[in-house]
Amino acid sequence: MDTSNLALISANFTSRSIVSANNGVFLKSSPLLCQRRRNFTFIKASLAAAAAIDKKVALIRIGTRGSPLALAQAYETRDKLMASSSELAEEGAIEIVVIKTTGDKILSQPLADIGGKGLFTKEIDEALLNSEIDIAVHSMKDVPTYLPEKTILPCNLPREDVRDAFISLNATSLADLPAGSVVGTASLRRKSQLLHRYPSLSVLENFRGNVQTRLKKLNDGVVGATLLALAGLKRLNMTEHVSSILSIDDMLPAVAQGAIGIACRSDDDKMANYISKLNHEETRLAVACERAFLLTLDGSCRTPIAGYACRDEDGNCLFRGLVASPDGTKVLETSRKGLYAYEDMVLMGKDAGKELLSRAGPGFFDS
């Protein structure tokens, strides 16, 4: 062994670093190696501590589903929060927490068969109540007409286009579909209105999954066409798939379609203040009117119900509501007009709901 190697060994090992036992040779750690290990352990501990500190920096934890559309809505919320407050614009100030809901886990059955309303919000609401998140971002049409105790929903972001989009590889509109064509939708609202106007078409129910999944099924030839909310396609920058847009007259939208809601705990004034800065009052009032209509009808996923409130050219509220039999053979519609103010609009929604309940009578939804 040359002298340079011997010198290196001498520098790193004491005379007690090499001992023999049972004819084997064991190397004991030198003081220098021990120091290096201690330094490495210290660095690892410091990095872990720094990571833990960074994780605690988040001032707001946003709870959301994990679908591409849900995440797009969460990022929209995050960006608006960052723009509203300098402290929220700091890196790491806002964290997005993905929560899988019952509606995301069970895709093989119709929503009505596994619990109806609340399937896309229940686990997120539980995380909010357990302080695992600070605010919850929901598609308002998924939110039940009741809110969990100790939560509030004081904010709606500006509403996107409420209309439905027709998508097909071979037709430009519903009217262009040949008799017997299959349209995929998991929505009884869409099914009933579609069959009411085009009874020669067929509907594949339980056409579920996120936007990308449903478009893939369409491309695979599972159905000849489908209907999707234009709002979601716009938020995903996927409007190139749209064959045509259905008018409000042809397809009245779901209650609160196109609206995003942000909830927090009722005792969390700080979060309520943050999200109140984002509220779009015109949207909030329209959603309140529509949800009052839905609540009066006690609507569920088994009930085809549609409702839409908007501001007309005179600045008043124009509300249109609809209930239908699941097979589309019976459709009842009504409308209201009044001041664009919270109390007036809630009363309009309730009154319209009572009228349709009375006109429908018992057994209406059993068709």
Residue 159: C-alpha distances to residues 185, 256, 280, 286, 331 (Å): 23, 9, 8, 10, 27
Cβ–Cβ < 8 Å for 299, 305: yes
DSSP secondary structure of 231-275: HHHHHTT-GGG-SEE--TTTSPPPTTTT-EEEEEETT-HHHHHHH
- Would residue 168 be called left, alpha or beta, if left means φ above 0 and alpha means ψ between -120 and 50 degrees? beta
Helix-strand-coil percent breakdown of the chain, rounded to 5?
A: 40, 20, 35
Catalytic residue positions, numbered = 142
Phi and psi at 85, nearest 5°, equal: -150, 130
* CB atoms inside a 10 Å sphere around CB 200: 10
- Look up residue 269 and give its amino acid: D
Q: Please name which of 271, 282, 308, 296 lies closest in space to residue 153, comparing C-alpha atoms.
A: 271
